[in-house]
Copies of this chain bind each other. A is one copy, B any other.
Amino acid sequence: MDTSYMNSRITDKKKVHIFIVGTGAIGSYYGGRLAQAGCEVATLCRSDYEEVKQRGITIQSVKGDFHFYPAEVVQRVEDYTQKPDYIIIATKALPEITLASLIQKIVYRHTSIVFLQNGINIEEEIATHYPKNEIISGLAYICVTKIKHGVIEHQAKDRLVLGKYPEGCSSKAEQLKQFFIAAGIECKNDTTILAARWHKLVWNVPFNALSVAAGQLTTAEIMQNNEIKNLAIKIMQEIVLLAARAGYPMAENIISDYIDFTKDMPPYKTSMLVDYEHHKQMEVEAILGNALHIARQKKLDIPYTETLYILLSSLNQKLVS
Protein backbone atom coordinates (compact mmCIF):
# COMPACT_ATOMS: atom_id res chain seq x y z
CA MET A 1 0.00 0.00 0.00
CA ASP A 2 1.49 3.33 -1.14
CA THR A 3 0.36 5.51 1.75
CA SER A 4 2.03 8.67 0.47
CA TYR A 5 -0.30 8.48 -2.49
CA MET A 6 -3.21 8.03 -0.12
CA ASN A 7 -2.20 11.00 1.98
CA SER A 8 -1.92 13.28 -1.03
CA ARG A 9 -5.19 12.05 -2.44
CA ILE A 10 -6.97 12.72 0.83
CA THR A 11 -5.59 16.19 1.39
CA ASP A 12 -6.52 17.12 -2.17
CA LYS A 13 -10.14 16.46 -1.42
CA LYS A 14 -12.65 18.53 0.49
CA LYS A 15 -12.13 18.16 4.23
CA VAL A 16 -13.96 15.21 5.70
CA HIS A 17 -15.72 16.02 8.98
CA ILE A 18 -15.76 13.42 11.69
CA PHE A 19 -17.49 13.70 15.04
CA ILE A 20 -16.35 11.34 17.81
CA VAL A 21 -18.75 10.48 20.62
CA GLY A 22 -16.70 9.40 23.61
CA THR A 23 -13.09 10.32 24.24
CA GLY A 24 -12.15 7.21 26.13
CA ALA A 25 -9.19 5.17 24.99
CA ILE A 26 -10.72 3.96 21.71
CA GLY A 27 -12.26 7.26 20.61
CA SER A 28 -9.15 9.24 21.42
CA TYR A 29 -6.75 6.85 19.73
CA TYR A 30 -8.62 6.36 16.47
CA GLY A 31 -9.79 9.98 16.42
CA GLY A 32 -6.18 11.07 16.70
CA ARG A 33 -5.21 8.74 13.86
CA LEU A 34 -7.96 10.13 11.61
CA ALA A 35 -6.71 13.65 12.34
CA GLN A 36 -3.23 12.50 11.28
CA ALA A 37 -4.79 11.26 8.06
CA GLY A 38 -6.04 14.77 7.35
CA CYS A 39 -9.64 14.56 8.55
CA GLU A 40 -11.20 17.35 10.57
CA VAL A 41 -12.00 15.51 13.79
CA ALA A 42 -14.22 16.94 16.55
CA THR A 43 -14.88 15.32 19.91
CA LEU A 44 -17.73 15.23 22.39
CA CYS A 45 -16.28 15.29 25.90
CA ARG A 46 -17.95 14.96 29.26
CA SER A 47 -15.85 14.60 32.39
CA ASP A 48 -12.60 15.56 30.67
CA TYR A 49 -13.92 18.54 28.69
CA GLU A 50 -11.72 21.17 30.36
CA GLU A 51 -8.47 19.23 29.91
CA VAL A 52 -9.15 18.29 26.29
CA LYS A 53 -10.37 21.78 25.37
CA GLN A 54 -7.21 23.35 26.78
CA ARG A 55 -4.53 20.83 26.01
CA GLY A 56 -5.95 18.24 23.63
CA ILE A 57 -5.13 14.57 24.07
CA THR A 58 -1.68 13.04 24.51
CA ILE A 59 -1.32 9.55 23.11
CA GLN A 60 1.61 7.54 24.45
CA SER A 61 1.85 4.91 21.75
CA VAL A 62 4.14 1.94 21.19
CA LYS A 63 4.26 3.21 17.63
CA GLY A 64 5.51 6.63 18.80
CA ASP A 65 3.85 9.24 20.98
CA PHE A 66 1.66 11.87 19.36
CA HIS A 67 -0.69 14.67 20.25
CA PHE A 68 -4.27 15.03 19.08
CA TYR A 69 -5.82 18.44 19.20
CA PRO A 70 -9.43 18.08 18.01
CA ALA A 71 -10.76 20.58 15.46
CA GLU A 72 -13.62 21.21 17.87
CA VAL A 73 -14.12 20.10 21.47
CA VAL A 74 -17.75 20.27 22.58
CA GLN A 75 -19.55 19.41 25.76
CA ARG A 76 -22.96 19.30 24.10
CA VAL A 77 -23.71 17.86 20.67
CA GLU A 78 -25.62 20.99 19.61
CA ASP A 79 -22.49 23.13 19.95
CA TYR A 80 -20.84 21.31 17.06
CA THR A 81 -20.67 23.61 14.01
CA GLN A 82 -20.29 21.12 11.14
CA LYS A 83 -22.46 18.61 9.33
CA PRO A 84 -20.46 15.46 9.92
CA ASP A 85 -19.65 12.92 7.23
CA TYR A 86 -19.11 10.38 9.97
CA ILE A 87 -20.24 10.14 13.57
CA ILE A 88 -18.09 7.60 15.35
CA ILE A 89 -19.64 6.03 18.47
CA ALA A 90 -16.76 5.07 20.74
CA THR A 91 -18.41 5.09 24.14
CA LYS A 92 -18.67 1.95 26.16
CA ALA A 93 -21.71 -0.08 25.06
CA LEU A 94 -23.92 0.42 28.11
CA PRO A 95 -27.72 0.13 28.09
CA GLU A 96 -28.23 3.40 29.94
CA ILE A 97 -26.64 5.42 27.13
CA THR A 98 -29.37 6.34 24.65
CA LEU A 99 -27.35 7.18 21.58
CA ALA A 100 -30.16 7.88 19.14
CA SER A 101 -31.44 10.96 20.93
CA LEU A 102 -27.95 12.06 21.94
CA ILE A 103 -26.79 12.56 18.34
CA GLN A 104 -30.13 13.61 16.86
CA LYS A 105 -29.16 17.23 16.14
CA ILE A 106 -26.13 16.36 14.01
CA VAL A 107 -27.40 13.44 11.95
CA TYR A 108 -27.81 14.59 8.33
CA ARG A 109 -28.84 12.59 5.28
CA HIS A 110 -25.21 12.08 4.23
CA THR A 111 -23.97 11.24 7.74
CA SER A 112 -22.64 7.72 8.26
CA ILE A 113 -22.82 6.43 11.81
CA VAL A 114 -19.89 4.27 12.78
CA PHE A 115 -19.66 1.95 15.80
CA LEU A 116 -16.34 1.15 17.42
CA GLN A 117 -17.67 -0.96 20.26
CA ASN A 118 -17.66 -4.46 21.67
CA GLY A 119 -20.54 -6.90 21.84
CA ILE A 120 -23.40 -7.87 19.58
CA ASN A 121 -26.72 -6.23 18.69
CA ILE A 122 -25.31 -2.86 19.66
CA GLU A 123 -26.35 -1.21 16.37
CA GLU A 124 -30.07 -1.93 16.52
CA GLU A 125 -31.25 1.17 18.34
CA ILE A 126 -29.50 3.54 15.93
CA ALA A 127 -30.38 1.48 12.85
CA THR A 128 -34.06 1.55 13.79
CA HIS A 129 -34.00 5.25 14.62
CA TYR A 130 -32.11 6.33 11.47
CA PRO A 131 -33.23 3.87 8.80
CA LYS A 132 -32.03 6.11 5.95
CA ASN A 133 -28.51 6.61 7.28
CA GLU A 134 -25.68 4.30 6.52
CA ILE A 135 -24.46 2.38 9.55
CA ILE A 136 -20.88 1.14 9.64
CA SER A 137 -19.99 -1.39 12.29
CA GLY A 138 -16.41 -1.68 13.46
CA LEU A 139 -14.26 -3.87 15.67
CA ALA A 140 -11.01 -2.70 17.20
CA TYR A 141 -8.29 -5.20 18.09
CA ILE A 142 -6.15 -3.03 20.31
CA CYS A 143 -4.68 -2.74 23.81
CA VAL A 144 -5.26 0.86 24.80
CA THR A 145 -6.09 2.45 28.15
CA LYS A 146 -7.05 5.90 29.32
CA ILE A 147 -4.59 6.75 32.09
CA LYS A 148 -6.16 10.03 33.11
CA HIS A 149 -8.07 12.91 31.57
CA GLY A 150 -6.45 13.76 28.26
CA VAL A 151 -3.82 11.00 28.38
CA ILE A 152 -4.10 7.66 26.56
CA GLU A 153 -1.64 4.78 26.67
CA HIS A 154 -1.51 2.57 23.59
CA GLN A 155 0.25 -0.68 24.53
CA ALA A 156 -0.17 -3.01 21.56
CA LYS A 157 -1.90 -3.61 18.21
CA ASP A 158 -4.46 -1.35 16.58
CA ARG A 159 -6.05 -3.47 13.86
CA LEU A 160 -9.53 -2.48 12.73
CA VAL A 161 -12.25 -4.31 10.87
CA LEU A 162 -15.06 -2.21 9.39
CA GLY A 163 -18.16 -3.18 7.47
CA LYS A 164 -21.49 -1.89 6.30
CA TYR A 165 -24.28 -2.85 8.70
CA PRO A 166 -25.86 -5.34 8.49
CA GLU A 167 -23.79 -6.54 5.52
CA GLY A 168 -22.50 -5.66 2.09
CA CYS A 169 -20.23 -3.03 0.53
CA SER A 170 -20.20 0.72 0.95
CA SER A 171 -18.06 3.49 -0.48
CA LYS A 172 -18.16 5.34 2.83
CA ALA A 173 -16.78 2.31 4.68
CA GLU A 174 -14.14 2.03 1.98
CA GLN A 175 -13.24 5.73 2.33
CA LEU A 176 -12.96 5.43 6.12
CA LYS A 177 -10.72 2.39 5.76
CA GLN A 178 -8.42 4.38 3.48
CA PHE A 179 -8.09 7.16 6.09
CA PHE A 180 -7.09 4.63 8.72
CA ILE A 181 -4.61 2.98 6.36
CA ALA A 182 -3.18 6.40 5.55
CA ALA A 183 -2.54 6.82 9.29
CA GLY A 184 -0.66 3.54 9.43
CA ILE A 185 -3.41 1.33 10.80
CA GLU A 186 -4.04 -2.17 9.53
CA CYS A 187 -7.68 -1.87 8.52
CA LYS A 188 -9.86 -4.03 6.37
CA ASN A 189 -13.45 -4.05 5.26
CA ASP A 190 -15.59 -7.07 5.92
CA THR A 191 -18.80 -7.52 3.96
CA THR A 192 -20.17 -9.71 6.76
CA ILE A 193 -19.32 -7.58 9.76
CA LEU A 194 -21.93 -9.19 12.02
CA ALA A 195 -20.23 -12.56 11.56
CA ALA A 196 -16.98 -10.82 12.57
CA ARG A 197 -18.75 -9.47 15.67
CA TRP A 198 -19.87 -12.98 16.66
CA HIS A 199 -16.36 -14.21 16.00
CA LYS A 200 -14.89 -11.67 18.38
CA LEU A 201 -17.64 -12.42 20.91
CA VAL A 202 -16.42 -16.01 21.18
CA TRP A 203 -13.27 -14.64 22.82
CA ASN A 204 -14.84 -11.68 24.61
CA VAL A 205 -17.47 -13.56 26.60
CA PRO A 206 -15.24 -16.05 28.40
CA PHE A 207 -12.15 -13.95 28.89
CA ASN A 208 -13.90 -10.77 29.95
CA ALA A 209 -16.32 -12.58 32.24
CA LEU A 210 -13.80 -14.89 33.88
CA SER A 211 -11.19 -12.18 34.31
CA VAL A 212 -13.59 -10.46 36.71
CA ALA A 213 -15.65 -13.27 38.26
CA ALA A 214 -12.74 -15.61 39.02
CA GLY A 215 -11.06 -12.99 41.18
CA GLN A 216 -9.46 -10.36 38.94
CA LEU A 217 -7.24 -12.48 36.75
CA THR A 218 -5.16 -11.58 33.71
CA THR A 219 -5.55 -13.67 30.56
CA ALA A 220 -2.31 -15.43 31.50
CA GLU A 221 -3.69 -16.41 34.92
CA ILE A 222 -6.83 -17.78 33.28
CA MET A 223 -4.69 -19.89 30.95
CA GLN A 224 -2.51 -21.20 33.80
CA ASN A 225 -5.44 -22.68 35.73
CA ASN A 226 -6.76 -25.77 33.96
CA GLU A 227 -10.23 -25.65 35.52
CA ILE A 228 -10.70 -22.01 34.52
CA LYS A 229 -9.23 -22.54 31.05
CA ASN A 230 -11.61 -25.47 30.52
CA LEU A 231 -14.51 -23.33 31.67
CA ALA A 232 -13.44 -20.71 29.11
CA ILE A 233 -13.55 -23.43 26.45
CA LYS A 234 -17.03 -24.52 27.52
CA ILE A 235 -18.24 -20.94 27.30
CA MET A 236 -16.69 -20.60 23.85
CA GLN A 237 -18.50 -23.78 22.79
CA GLU A 238 -21.77 -22.25 23.95
CA ILE A 239 -21.20 -19.03 21.98
CA VAL A 240 -20.13 -20.95 18.86
CA LEU A 241 -23.31 -23.04 19.10
CA LEU A 242 -25.44 -19.95 19.63
CA ALA A 243 -23.78 -18.10 16.75
CA ALA A 244 -24.55 -21.00 14.42
CA ARG A 245 -28.20 -20.93 15.52
CA ALA A 246 -28.23 -17.17 14.93
CA GLY A 247 -26.98 -17.70 11.37
CA TYR A 248 -23.26 -17.25 11.89
CA PRO A 249 -21.55 -20.64 11.73
CA MET A 250 -17.86 -20.57 12.62
CA ALA A 251 -14.90 -22.56 11.38
CA GLU A 252 -14.30 -25.68 13.48
CA ASN A 253 -10.90 -24.61 14.75
CA ILE A 254 -11.99 -21.22 16.13
CA ILE A 255 -11.74 -22.36 19.75
CA SER A 256 -8.30 -23.95 19.50
CA ASP A 257 -7.14 -20.91 17.53
CA TYR A 258 -8.34 -18.59 20.30
CA ILE A 259 -6.65 -20.74 22.94
CA ASP A 260 -3.34 -20.55 21.03
CA PHE A 261 -3.82 -16.81 20.47
CA THR A 262 -4.43 -16.23 24.19
CA LYS A 263 -1.44 -18.38 25.21
CA ASP A 264 0.75 -16.20 23.02
CA MET A 265 -0.57 -12.92 24.45
CA PRO A 266 1.35 -11.07 27.15
CA PRO A 267 -0.58 -11.09 30.47
CA TYR A 268 -3.51 -8.86 29.64
CA LYS A 269 -6.28 -7.26 31.66
CA THR A 270 -9.55 -7.38 29.73
CA SER A 271 -11.60 -4.21 29.34
CA MET A 272 -14.17 -5.58 31.76
CA LEU A 273 -11.50 -6.15 34.40
CA VAL A 274 -10.08 -2.66 33.89
CA ASP A 275 -13.58 -1.22 34.31
CA TYR A 276 -14.23 -3.33 37.40
CA GLU A 277 -10.97 -2.30 39.02
CA HIS A 278 -11.87 1.33 38.41
CA HIS A 279 -15.37 0.79 39.87
CA LYS A 280 -16.90 1.55 36.48
CA GLN A 281 -19.84 -0.16 34.81
CA MET A 282 -18.82 -3.18 32.74
CA GLU A 283 -20.25 -3.94 29.28
CA VAL A 284 -22.18 -6.92 30.62
CA GLU A 285 -25.26 -6.42 28.45
CA ALA A 286 -23.43 -5.84 25.16
CA ILE A 287 -21.04 -8.75 25.65
CA LEU A 288 -23.07 -11.35 27.58
CA GLY A 289 -26.63 -10.12 27.97
CA ASN A 290 -27.49 -9.73 24.29
CA ALA A 291 -26.13 -13.21 23.59
CA LEU A 292 -28.17 -14.66 26.44
CA HIS A 293 -31.33 -12.94 25.22
CA ILE A 294 -30.89 -14.51 21.79
CA ALA A 295 -30.29 -17.91 23.41
CA ARG A 296 -33.47 -17.56 25.45
CA GLN A 297 -35.44 -16.59 22.33
CA LYS A 298 -34.09 -19.65 20.57
CA LYS A 299 -34.61 -21.85 23.64
CA LEU A 300 -30.97 -22.81 23.66
CA ASP A 301 -29.44 -23.50 27.08
CA ILE A 302 -26.09 -21.80 27.63
CA PRO A 303 -25.74 -22.36 31.39
CA TYR A 304 -22.07 -21.42 31.75
CA THR A 305 -22.60 -18.09 30.00
CA GLU A 306 -25.89 -17.59 31.84
CA THR A 307 -24.29 -18.07 35.25
CA LEU A 308 -21.57 -15.56 34.48
CA TYR A 309 -24.07 -13.08 33.08
CA ILE A 310 -26.10 -13.19 36.29
CA LEU A 311 -23.04 -12.86 38.52
CA LEU A 312 -21.58 -9.97 36.51
CA SER A 313 -24.93 -8.17 36.36
CA SER A 314 -25.02 -8.37 40.13
CA LEU A 315 -21.45 -7.06 40.39
CA ASN A 316 -22.42 -4.19 38.05
CA GLN A 317 -25.37 -3.33 40.29
CA LYS A 318 -23.06 -3.33 43.30
CA LEU A 319 -20.77 -0.87 41.49
CA VAL A 320 -23.69 1.54 41.08
CA SER A 321 -25.09 1.22 44.58
Residues of chain A whose beta carbon lies under 8 Å from any beta carbon of chain B = 210, 213-217, 225, 227-228, 231, 234, 303-304, 306-308, 310-311, 313-315, 317-318
Contact = CB atoms under 8 A, between A and B. Distances in A.
A315 B225 CA distance: 12
A94 to B, nearest CB: 18
Contact of A314 (B217, B311, B314): B217
Tell me which of A213, A231, A234, A307 has the highest count of chain B C-beta atoms within 10 A of its own C-beta.
A307
Contacts of A215: 311, 314-315, 317-318
Contact of A307 (B225, B304, B313, B314): B304
Nearest to A234: B303
12 contacts: A210-B311, A215-B315, A215-B317, A225-B314, A227-B310, A228-B314, A231-B307, A231-B310, A234-B303, A303-B307, A307-B307, A307-B308
Query: Lowest 10 A-B CB distances belong to which pairs?
Result: A303-B303, A214-B314, A215-B318, A307-B307, A215-B315, A227-B310, A231-B310, A215-B314, A214-B311, A213-B311
A227 B234 CA distance: 22
Nearest to A221: B314
B318 A228 contact: no
A304 B302 CA distance: 10
A292 to B, nearest CB: 10
A314 to B, nearest CB: 4
Nearest to A225: B314
B213 A313 contact: no
Contacts of A228: 310, 314
Nearest to A308: B307
A315 B317 CA distance: 20
A280 to B, nearest CB: 15
Given A227-B314, A234-B303, 20 more contacts: A210-B311, A213-B213, A213-B311, A214-B310, A214-B314, A215-B311, A215-B315, A215-B317, A215-B318, A216-B318, A225-B314, A227-B313, A228-B310, A303-B303, A303-B304, A303-B307, A304-B306, A304-B307, A307-B307, A311-B311
A317 B213 CA distance: 13
Contacts of A310: 214, 227-228, 231
Contacts of A214: 310-311, 314-315
